[in-house]
């Protein structure tokens, strides 16, 4: 049987590296390896005692069989995996040499997984391990095909360093992806608009809160040709100054910088507060002028002062309701009437609220309560 030339092998390596950088390309990389070895099936698999260790990137994946693999057959695969742990990393082996032909053919893995996919003779090698879990690459040939020969084994041994690097990169990038998604999810839960801008005020990232604010047709801030802009000319000039100041601060931490401003709506009213600061540098982006982060917050009274004050200041339900009445504009006497208590009781409530909120005057308390909003988006 003819063996692949150098160009074919190099093309396979290119596809393997593409799979390392992009998980969606891993099945394509497995298919490339299947063709390289003229196999019936190829697969990159992680296996271990913990279900979180189980991963498989295979050629021609069958959804029903994949579900069977991660479901009823999982204990058998885990047990087989333990039998392979004694094989050194990079050593090429064949299924029947390790497991025995008859024991393998009697197993559920053979009868319910391998045989239905025409996997009659496998060649594999272990690629990497972490604790009890490990990755391996496996390529199979069908019932009507010749078995793998010494040249096939030699080629797989030569490819081992590349295959090992692929799974190490895939594992590392997978962790980074999870961390990125967790961070984005957390930012989307904030009742703040968070956006990252470059020096030209182009958006490179925006959380859900920022997307909502920027999409408001008559809001105080929006996008024009992909760049952030304030609708009021005076606000636009001030916003540009603050962004330039944040960029200077990223180059010189000792530079003076005023970080915040109020953005006005179409009617001239106060609609948004904006805080601008340097963003953490990202070596991968290679931006010579740096990035800035802008945090946008709507200026509005908290929608549920009772719930907010209970959680933020540890007020009792009665104290929170009394505080909410004061924040709505009622006088102490009016709040006492509304709550059905004597003025002396109202003064006792007010004294406890002052103590818990670290305020001393009713006007100070009302100002605090009107801005007391939990920084989370309602779900």
State the Cα angle at 320 between 318 and 325, rounded to 5°.
Answer: 95
Tens-place pLDDT, residues 135-178: 999 999 999 999 999 999 999 999 999 999 988 888 788 777 76
Q: How far apart are CA 74 and CA 305, in angstroms?
A: 51
Burial of residue 230, with CB atoms counted within 10 A of its CB: 0-12 exposed, 13-18 middle, 19 or more buried: buried
- What are phi and psi for residue 4, nearest 5 degrees? -65, 150
Give the SS3 label for residue 207.
Answer: coil
Of residues 236, 240, 188, 185, the one with CA closest to residue 210? 188
Q: Which long-range contacts (CB under 8 A, 24 or more apart) does 212-220 make?
A: 213/272, 213/296, 213/298, 218/265, 218/266, 219/265, 219/271, 219/272, 220/263, 220/264, 220/265, 220/266, 220/271, 220/272
Copy the structure tokens of residue 205: 């990232």
On whether the CB atoms of residues 188 and 377 are closer than 8 A, the answer is yes
DSSP state of 23: G
Closest CA to 55 of 92, 21, 26: 26
Range 147-166 burial, b when 16+ CB lie within 10 A, else e: ebeeebbebbeebbeebbeb
3-state DSSP helix/strand/coil % of the chain, to nearest 5: 50, 20, 30
Token pair of 118 as six digits: 């025409």
- Tens-binned pLDDT, residue by residue, of the chain (379 aa): 567 777 788 888 888 888 888 888 888 899 999 999 999 999 998 888 777 778 888 887 667 766 766 677 777 877 777 778 888 999 999 988 888 888 888 888 888 888 888 888 899 999 998 888 889 999 999 999 999 999 999 999 999 999 999 888 887 887 777 677 777 777 777 778 889 999 899 998 888 888 988 988 888 999 988 899 998 888 999 999 989 988 888 777 665 566 788 888 766 555 788 888 888 655 444 444 588 999 888 766 445 677 777 777 888 888 888 888 888 788 889 888 988 888 989 899 899 989 988 888 888 888 777 666 555 555 5
Which domains can be identified in the chain, with CATH numbers?
A: 6-181 (3.30.450.80), 193-298 (3.30.450.20), 305-370 (1.10.10.10)
Tokens 């092998």 found at? 9
Question: For residue 321, which phi and psi values (nearest 5 degrees)?
Answer: -65, -40
């Amino acid at each position: 049987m003819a063996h692949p030339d150098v160009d074919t092998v190099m093309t396979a390596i290119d596809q393997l590296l593409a799979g390392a950088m992009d998980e969606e390309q891993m099945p394509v990389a497995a298919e490339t390896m299947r063709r390289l070895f003229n196999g019936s099936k190829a697969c990159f698999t992680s296996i271990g005692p913990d279900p979180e260790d189980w991963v498989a990137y295979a050629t021609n994946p069958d959804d029903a069989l994949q579900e069977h693999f991660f479901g009823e057959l999982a204990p058998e695969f885990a047990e087989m995996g333990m039998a392979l742990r004694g094989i050194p990393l990079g050593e090429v082996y064949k299924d029947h040499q390790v497991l025995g032909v008859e024991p393998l053919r009697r197993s559920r893995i053979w009868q319910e997984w391998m045989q239905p996919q025409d996997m009659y003779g496998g060649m594999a090698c272990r690629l990497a391990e972490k604790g009890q879990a490990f990755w391996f690459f496996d390529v199979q040939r069908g019932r009507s095909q010749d078995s793998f020969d010494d040249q096939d084994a030699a080629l797989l041994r030569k490819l081992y360093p590349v295959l090992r690097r692929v799974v190490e990169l895939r594992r590392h990038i997978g962790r980074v992806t999870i961390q990125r998604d967790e961070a984005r999810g957390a930012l989307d839960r904030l009742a703040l608009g968070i956006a990252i801008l470059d020096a030209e005020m182009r958006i490179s990232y925006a959380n859900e809160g920022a997307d909502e604010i920027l999409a408001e047709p008559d809001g105080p801030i929006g996008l024009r040709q992909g760049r952030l802009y304030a609708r009021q000319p005076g606000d636009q000039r001030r916003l540009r100054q603050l962004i330039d100041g944040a960029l200077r601060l990223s180059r010189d931490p000792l530079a003076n910088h005023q970080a915040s401003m109020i953005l006005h709506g179409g009617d001239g009213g106060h609609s948004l507060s904006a805080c601008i600061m340097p963003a953490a540098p990202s070596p991968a982006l290679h931006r010579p002028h740096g990035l800035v982060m802008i945090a946008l917050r709507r200026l509005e009274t908290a929608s549920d002062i009772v719930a907010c004050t209970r959680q933020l200041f540890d007020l009792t339900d009665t104290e929170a309701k009394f505080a909410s009445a004061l924040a709505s504009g009622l006088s102490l006497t009016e709040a006492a009437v509304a709550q059905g208590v004597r003025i002396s009781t109202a003064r006792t409530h007010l004294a406890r609220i002052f103590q818990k909120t670290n305020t001393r005057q009713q006007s100070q308390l009302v100002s605090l309560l009107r801005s007391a909003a939990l920084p989370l988006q309602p779900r």
